[in-house]
Amino acid sequence: MKKLAIIGSGLAGLTLANQLKNKFDITVFEKSRGVGGRLATRRAETYAFDHGAQYFTARTEAFRTFIQPLIDEGVIKRWVARHVEINGIHIVKRSSWETEEPRYVGAPGMNSIAKRLAHDIDVRANTKITSLSHSKDWQLKTETGQIEDHYEWVISTVPGPQALELLPENFTYQNDIKEIQMRGCFSLMLGFSASLPLEFEAAHITNSDISWIAANSHKPHRGAPNTLVVHSSAEYADKNTHTDREVVIDHLCQQVSLIIGHDVNQAQHKVLHGWRYANNTNRDTHQPFIDTQLKLAACGDWCVGGRVEGAFTSAQRLSEAIIKS
């Protein structure tokens, strides 16, 4: 069986691995210690935080079919939250997700989805690929200098700017990927010993340095002490990429305190994570990028609007194209 390498173990990479595993001998290379990409969950002390993707919807029949077995297994649960829209510090709209389209989360964490999809896949964690080369087939060089070779296909599922660092200059879609601009996001994780007097479990915020607040401990099967996950706006993240992290934490805590009317500086646990490539500048839809001559490809949620479902859709389209090639 011919070998295929996938770089990145987020939903796109693991979807590809599962859809192509009967056609190829697949290896997934992941620079982090665990799978999931932005389907991320961090645990510290008694706290747990989904600090990447917060939830997702399923709007296509293909994605609904894909997630149904995971729903049946209890790996995916519906999150029924009180949702608000906030302009600055004022609530301008309230709704209940009980009566709207389902919002889903992994259980007991967002990374549970990726762990389930990776259960019979050869995933090499803590293995960062730094370069590609080709003679009769593809060779991948790791950060430690190790060579992984004899791959017929190499697929990158990391964000576009990182994919460009790996893909050779003669990759057909270099310029197309360069045109897809991505923006950052700070994720602030706050843990408390007592419950907070919140009017919501999920909030989208505009006209603020905060874009999102979630009562993470309210999600199904969390069973953890009271936790908040806060996302900054893209504008704030891009302007403060090099700002001291303690300064960012203090500022975001101040903003959250104003919005919810409670001093979150009293949190027993405060951690900040920076996502350098969190969202597309615009949400245009792009096909996955496949060069059948070089047998190289790139895909991910950044190809299809930046949503979790987009990661699946991009991978599905790419797997179909590779099987036909």
The model's confidence at residue 224, banded by pLDDT at 50, 70 and 90, is confident
Residue 284 sits at φ, ψ, to 5 deg, of -60, 150
| CATH C-level class of 1-35+118-180+284-325 | alpha beta
Count of positions (residues) in the chain: 325
The Cα 261–Cα 322 span in angstroms is: 53
The Cα 184–Cα 281 span in angstroms is: 10
> What is the Cα gyration radius of the chain?
20
How high is the pLDDT of residue 306? 83
Domain spans, the chain: 1-35+118-180+284-325, 42-111+182-281
Structural contact between residues 48 and 222, judged by C-beta atoms closer than 8 angstroms: yes
Task: Provide CB contacts within 8 A for 23, sequence distance 6+.
Answer: 1, 322, 323
- How does pLDDT run across 7-53, given as a tens digit for each residue? 999 999 999 999 999 999 999 999 999 999 999 999 998 999 999 99
Segments of the chain assigned E as strands: 3-7, 25-29, 42-44, 47-49, 76-78, 82-87, 90-96, 104-106, 123-124, 129-134, 138-142, 147-151, 153-156, 182-191, 202-206, 210-215, 227-232, 269-280, 289-291, 296-298
Q: Which alpha helices (DSSP H) does 151-269 contain, by range?
A: 160-166, 174-178, 234-239, 245-260
Task: Provide CB contacts within 8 A for 175, sequence distance 6+.
Answer: none
The model's confidence at residue 305, banded by pLDDT at 50, 70 and 90, is confident
Confidence (pTM): 0.96
Location of structure tokens 């791959």: 151
How high is the pLDDT of residue 107? 98
Average pLDDT for the chain:
96
For the domain spanning 42-111+182-281, the CATH number is: 3.90.660.10
